[in-house]
Amino acid sequence: MIVVMNVNVEEPKVEAVKDKLHQMGYKTHLIYGTARLVIGAIGQESSVAPTGIETMPGVEKVMRVMAPYKLVSREVKSDDSIIDVGGVEIGGNEIVVMAGPCAVESYEQISEIARGVQESGAQIMRGGAFKPRSSPYSFQGLEEEGLQYLAKVRSEVNLKFVTEVITPTDVELVSSYADIIQVGARNMQNYTLLRELGRSEKPVLLKRGYASTIEEWLMAAEYIMNEGNYQIILCERGIRTFENYTRNTLDISAVPIVKQLSHLPVIVDPSHSAGNWRLVSALSNAAIAAGADGILVEVHNLPDEALCDGAQSLTIENYQQMMEELKKVAVAVNRYLPLFSTKLE
């Protein structure tokens, strides 16, 4: 249920509506749009229907939200959400590029890659310190040491960073370093982790599970939002299909679908979708053409020696070429890649 009020309504009127909803057993969320203030009233199926709210001062209308996810839906918030990551806006007109290695391997490695991608227009670097590997014998990440390298490089170059958390007990630690916390495909339905992140103040990058429907993905985002963290970026990273030429099948249609269903920004990870660096540029172009707000891409200084996902990692040079292509696609869809545009022209 949502209660729509004018965005300039006086505070006491909002408080009165909230109090009434709380008495009826609802939890409330205030969602500010450009023209209206929406109070999302979330309750168990058994909650009393909020009668009597419609006539309260300042209330324009009361509406049922038809979608199973509520707070993430366009029904609740019609304008796009823009997530501000220390001045980098995700979900606005700017295309945001997050680039870096699958895993942080050493200070030298992350430093060289970060400088390389920054020069070609990335705004955010990526690098895993806690790696959810399919095999227990594969490299599992440098853990806190990796976070320290990311933080050191951040202070040396003009980049924010995104890194994954794989367990609820590490949320505090990872939040104390990262600008954006990533939830990987394998953890998309780890509801304890999602709830914990919902109580964090950091933006969350929520990857789609490789066997999850769009609705399940949006419900996962709802878990985070329902705890009070509205800063969520959705990331399509390919789903498992019968096709085995690629590691996963990039579900490109998920981009415009999610854009219709939700106000949250959507980005695409072409690297885990493809599993092959040769496909990454084409998939990135497709993502931006389809309306994605950015990409998350794996780049390595020495892909042949990478401890993780070398086959899908671009060299710094290939990354630069990809960005040149991507810039043209961005312009064609009335978006832009700011740093790169100023550098090349």
Residues that bind Mn ion (CB under 5 A): 102, 309
Task: Tell the smallest beta-carbon distance from residue 183 to Mn ion (Å).
Answer: 14
* 202 touches ligand PEP by CB under 6 A: no
Residues in the chain: 345
Per CB under 6 A, 91 contacts ligand PEP: no
Element (H, E) at 21: helix 11-23
Q: How far is the CB of 58 from ligand PEP (least distance, A)?
A: 44
Which does residue 42 touch among Mn ion, ligand PEP, none (CB within 5 to 8 A, set by kind)?
none
Q: Which residue has the tokens 């006086």?
A: 10
Please pick, from the candidates 40, 91, 128, 270, the single residue that binds ligand PEP as defined by CB under 6 A. Answer: 128
Each residue 231-260 as x (binds ligand PEP by CB under 6 A) or -, in order, gives ------x-----------------------
Q: How far is the CB of 227 from ligand PEP (least distance, A)?
A: 21
Count the site residues for ligand PEP by CB under 6 A. 11
We find the least distance from the C-beta atom of residue 102 to ligand PEP, in angstroms, to be: 5
One DSSP character per residue, 252-266 reads TTHHHHHHHHBSS-E
Separation CA 296–CA 273 (nearest Å): 11
In the complex, what is the shortest distance from the CB of residue 260 to ligand PEP, in angstroms, rounded to a whole number? 23
Q: Give the nearest distance from C-beta 68 to ligand PEP in angstroms.
A: 24
Q: In whole angstroms, how close is the CB of 234 to Mn ion at the nearest point? A: 18
Identify which range of 147-155, 178-186, 260-268, 318-326 contacts ligand PEP by CB under 6 A.
Answer: 178-186
Instruction: Please answer whether residues 151 and 170 qualify as being in contact, where contact means their C-beta atoms are separated by less than 8 angstroms.
Output: no
The amino acid at residue 308 is: C
Please identify, using beta-carbon distances, which residue of 53 and 102 lies nearer to Mn ion.
102
Q: Would you count residue 185 as binding ligand PEP (CB under 6 A)?
A: yes
b/e for 285-319, b at 16 or more Cβ within 10 A? bbbbbbebbbbbbbbbbebeebbbbbebbbbbebb
The one-letter amino acid code at 55 reads T
Instruction: Select the span of 44-52, 73-81, 179-187, 250-258 touching ligand PEP (CB under 6 A).
Output: 179-187
**Residue 323 in contact with residue 97, Cβ under 8 Å?**
yes
100 binds ligand PEP (CB under 6 A): no
> For strand 2-6 and strand 59-63, is the pairing parallel, antiparallel, or unpaired?
antiparallel
Per rule CB under 6 A, is residue 184 in the interface with ligand PEP?
Answer: yes
Q: Is 29 in the site for ligand PEP (CB under 6 A)?
A: no
Distance CA 178, CA 334 (A): 30
Angle between helices 107-119 and 144-156 (to 10 degrees): 40
Q: Which does 160 bind (CB under 5 to 8 A by kind): ligand PEP, Mn ion, none?
A: none
Do residues 159 and 114 make contact, with C-beta atoms less than 8 angstroms apart? yes
Token pair 């994605």 is at which residue?
A: 292
Q: Which is nearer to Mn ion, 236 or 309 (CB)?
A: 309
Q: Scanning residues 33 to 52, which ones bind ligand PEP (CB under 6 A)?
A: none
Cα 25 to Cα 28, 42, 45, 47, 188: the distances in Å are 10, 9, 11, 6, 29
Pick one of ligand PEP, Mn ion, none as the site partner of residue 184 (Cβ within 5 to 8 A by kind). Answer: ligand PEP
Residues that bind ligand PEP (CB under 6 A): 102, 128, 132, 164, 184-186, 207, 237, 269, 272
